Amino acid sequence: MENTLTWLDDYLIGIDAVDKQHQFLFELIDKTLKCKEKTELQLALIKLYKYTREHFNDEEALMRDCGYAGYEEHVKQHNILISELNHKSKIALNNLEERNNLDTFLVNWLVIHILEEDINIGDFLNAPFSN
Ligand SMILES: [Fe+2]
Ligand SMILES: [Fe+2]
């Protein structure tokens, strides 16, 4: 069965700019999952890696700007995800038969990170007495 990643509105965190970036990440991941050849996969992974870094940088700037208390821990999670993406990409590109591990990671990390971490930034910013 082919892996896919589909956006659901349950993943909205209530910050428009962030939600748009998350939706674009879903598209990039879905395209990556559908790559069959090595060169194609490599290009998709480079694109995904770059955009993920961009997204993390933007999200970290937003957390700093609003004085988000969980900043340090959240940045740690971002760094772990980036190095995991890097590591699993290398293994998969070395041997396409080993890409299961990468695909499982791709299907899960963004959804889990949004629902467990990013959602808290949304709640913080949208709390009735914030700012
Ligand atoms: Fe995040
Ligand atoms: Fe995010």
DSSP secondary structure of 104-120? HHHHHHHHHHIIIIIHH
Closest listed ligand to the CA of 74: 1
Residue 119 lies in a domain: yes
Instruction: Work out how many domains the chain is built from and give that number.
Output: 1
Residue 5 lies in a domain: no
pLDDT level of residue 1 (50, 70, 90 thresholds): low
Dihedral in degrees, nearest 10, Cα atoms 44, 81, 102, 47: 0
Give the residue from 42, 28, 46, 34 showing the smallest Cα distance to 109: 28
Q: What digits encode the pLDDT tens for the residues 101-131?
A: 999 999 999 999 999 999 999 999 998 765 5
Residue 8 lies in a domain: no
Half-sphere exposure for 9 (CA within 13 Å, toward CB) = 0
Cα 55 to ligand 2 centroid, rounded to whole Å: 7
Cα 108 to ligand 1 centroid, rounded to whole Å: 14
Residue 7 lies in a domain: no
Cα 97 to ligand 2 centroid, rounded to whole Å: 30
Cα 87 to ligand 1 centroid, rounded to whole Å: 19
**What are the structure tokens assigned to 25, written together?**
């990440």
Q: What is the CATH number of the domain that holds 71?
A: 1.20.120.50
**Domain that includes residue 121, residue range:** 13-125
pTM, two decimals, is 0.94
Q: What digits encode the pLDDT tens for the residues 64-112?
A: 999 999 999 999 999 999 999 999 999 999 999 999 999 999 999 999 9
Cα 128 to ligand 2 centroid, rounded to whole Å: 22
Residue 84 lies in a domain: yes
Cα 97 to ligand 1 centroid, rounded to whole Å: 30
